[in-house]
Structure 1
Amino acid sequence: MPVNMIEEGDRSPRIILIEPTGSTAEVLLYGAQVISWKNERREELLFRSNKALSKPPKSIRGGIPICFPQFYNFGSLEQHGFARNRLWSLDDSPLPLSPANNHSTVDLILKSTEEDLKTWPHRFELRLRVSLSTNKLTLIPRVRNTDSKAFSFTFALCNYLSVSDISEVRVEGLETLDYLDNLLQKGRYTEQADAITFDGEIDRVYLSTPTKIAIIDHEKKRTYVLRKEGMPDAVVWNPWDKKAKALPDLADEDYKTMLCVDSAAIETAVILKPSEEWKGRQELSTVSSSYCSGQLDPRKVLHGIS
């Protein structure tokens, strides 16, 4: 049977999810951040910097941090919002969701505090369910408005994926879509390439994206498949060499072995009336991929993956 273990560490308690075939995931109570996801061969699938700051109030560089109630830095709120820099609690009474079957699962909750209300004056409950099954990691975030007035927010799950060599990676499923380019004053452009490949810094928000996106690692012959609901946008980010050197919690060469492909609701903010709830869903899975050439038909990557 799946096992949940709680360990104390130098940062905060962590929940270790263990799946019968041997795959594991680690979730910190601080920030409700998934910091590790290993397959049955004990290969780490998420990137985490060796220079990541290990103590609050900063979140760890890597894993899957949560951005709420904003993604961009607006007003007095901290960069990417405050949810990733708060201590969450185990949710003793999670709202009903579809059965977790044989998954190893943990439910966490964050509620607005009087201190948070000073900078973001809206009462809320933010819940996260993390479930682990064979070759699949599922995150289900939910936001409930517990205030007497409506509020809006933006949201993202920032997926730091571990890759063998960023120059050998391609992302398929975002071709022909419009995107906002953060390196060009958030100008709006249309993706012209058949697939996204990497030879320099990239920081884009792809809009109205499909529910499935494939991240293909040629060298490892492994494909990450990202499925998402309720989060129509996708952020693609790699700092490349100059930006990596400027980030204190990222090693100079780390950009070569990481890629962020995020599930997000950014362009159009989510609006919740009192007592309303928003729900998102993200599934990350891995499949082996082999090649006859450098090209891969994205329909074949995604076809038949349930």
Structure 2
Amino acid sequence: MPQVLFKNHSGSEVTVNLCGATVTSWKHEGEEFLFCSKKAVLDGSKAIRGGIPIVFPNFGPWELGPQHGFARIKEWKQASDPRDGENGAVSMDFSLEDDDQTRQMWDKKFRLVYTVTLMQNTLETALTVHNTGGEEFDFTTLLHTYVRVEDIMTTTITGLQNCTYTDKVHVGEHVEEREAVVIDENYDRIYQAVDGAVNVNQDMQTLGTLRIERDNLPDVVVWNPWQEKAAAMSDLVPMEYLEMVCVEAGAVTSRVVLPPAQQRTFSQKLIICRGQQVIL
């Protein structure tokens, strides 16, 4: 599947695979900040195991089509050339429209525009959903971000304290009491109505803290398959679970209703805070 690479003038570059318009790499000053499995399938036959796959129009199992919808496995179009913005930012657009295949699963008319923007120490990804039909439709969506970590055992996630979450591994709904979440088992939790940024914290001298800010994406999914489940995945090297954590900005606990001829944008900013004090 074709890939697009573009850079800005501050030492950052991003690679987008047209399978799902999946951002598979984001490097700043030569350091990679996204995880992509060495066994990820990049030919469009399945969703890419890594980067930032786009979930639309349904999060999770879907009776009408594949899990997490079709956006992450459809071939998108490059909708613009790289364009310069303010303060050295560089952006590109990618698009996906309904076709015979999508309408067989989900008989709606839509256009998705995905804008990827490189800034000095920030990657912004923004999905705009256009309802191009004559009837309203509803959907859920999520940016399935795989964050690269040096060691999941020494990584913490902050910004989720006091949030209600659904635990999909142990089942049940709970309130997060910890200020710093530690991953030490198969972990799959949907945190609801998260107020403010979420931070993935590591050694400040290397990858440091990655701050995730969200707009119109109130929920945060945190996922790591851990050892046994990772070993059963054909597109993941067994021990790679130690090198990643998914912190996924989404609108998944309540379905979004979009009237005809309307649009809505869902976005996140990944901000490198290496060597800086982070406000939690």
Q: Please give the TM-score of this superposition, normalised by the length of structure 2.
A: 0.94
| C-alpha displacement of 1:52 | 1.1
Q: CA RMSD of the aligned region, Å?
A: 1.8
Q: Match of 2:228?
A: 242
Taking the aligned partners of 2:227 and 2:7, their CA distance within structure 1 comes to 36
**Where do 1:53-132 residues align within 5 Å?**
53-92=41-80, 101-132=87-118
C-alpha distance 277-208 of structure 1, shift in aligned 2 (>3 A): same
**2:4 corresponds to 1:27:** no
Match of 1:262 among 237, 248, 266: 248
Q: Which amino acid aligns with 1:261?
A: V
Q: Check whether the contact 1:138–1:284 (CA below 8 A) recurs between aligned residues.
A: yes
Do the aligned partners of 1:156 and 1:264 also contact (CA within 8 Å) in 2? yes
Alignment check: 8 A CA contact 1:212 1:302 kept? no
Structure 1 counterpart of 2:157: 171
Partner of 1:190: 175
For 1:173 and 1:139, how far apart are their aligned partners in 2? 20
**Corresponding residue of 1:161:** 147
Task: Tell me if the contact between 1:202 and 1:236 (Cα under 8 Å) persists in the aligned partners.
Answer: yes
Matching residue's letter, 1:285: I
Paired residues for 1:204-243 under 5 Å: 204-218=189-203, 220=206, 222-243=208-229
Match of 1:148 in 2: 134
One-letter amino acid of the structure 2 residue matched with residue 23 of structure 1:
S
| 1:100–1:64 distance in 2 versus 1, CA, 3 Å | farther
Q: Percent identity?
A: 34
Shift of 1:90: 2.1
> How much has 1:230 moved relative to structure 2?
0.4
Are 1:279 and 2:265 matched, yes or no? yes
Q: What do the CA deviations read for 1:161-203 (whole angstroms, capped 9, x no partner)? A: 1101001000110011100111134x21111112101111110
Match of 1:302 in 2: 279
Q: 2:25 aligns with which of 29, 32, 36?
A: 36
Deviation at 1:140, TM superposition (A): 1.0
The match for 1:49 is 37
Residue 296 of structure 1 corresponds to none
Decide whether the 8 Å contact of 1:180 with 1:188 is kept in 2.
yes
Instruction: For 1:301, give the aligned amino acid.
Output: V
1:100 and 1:182, CA in 2 relative to 1: closer, same or farther beyond 3 A?
A: farther
Q: Is the contact between residue 100 and residue 131 of structure 1 (CA under 8 Å) also seen in structure 2?
A: no
Counterpart position of 1:139: 125
Unaligned runs of 5+ in 2: none
In 2, Cα distance between equivalents of 1:20 and 1:79: 38
- Name the aligned partner's letter for residue 180 of structure 2: A
Q: How far apart are the structure 2 equivalents of 1:105 and 1:13?
A: 18
Distance 1:158 1:241 in 2: 20
Q: Distance in 1 between matches of 2:85 and 2:32?
A: 27
Q: Which amino acid in structure 1 is aligned with residue 165 of structure 2?
A: Y
Question: The residue matched to 2:169 in structure 1 has which SS?
Answer: helix
> Which shifted more, 26-35 or 219-228?
219-228
**Separation of aligned partners in 2, 1:127 and 1:236:** 25
- Contact 1:214–1:302 (CA under 8 A) maintained in structure 2: no
Q: Does the Cα contact within 8 Å between 1:221 and 1:289 map onto a contact in 2?
A: no
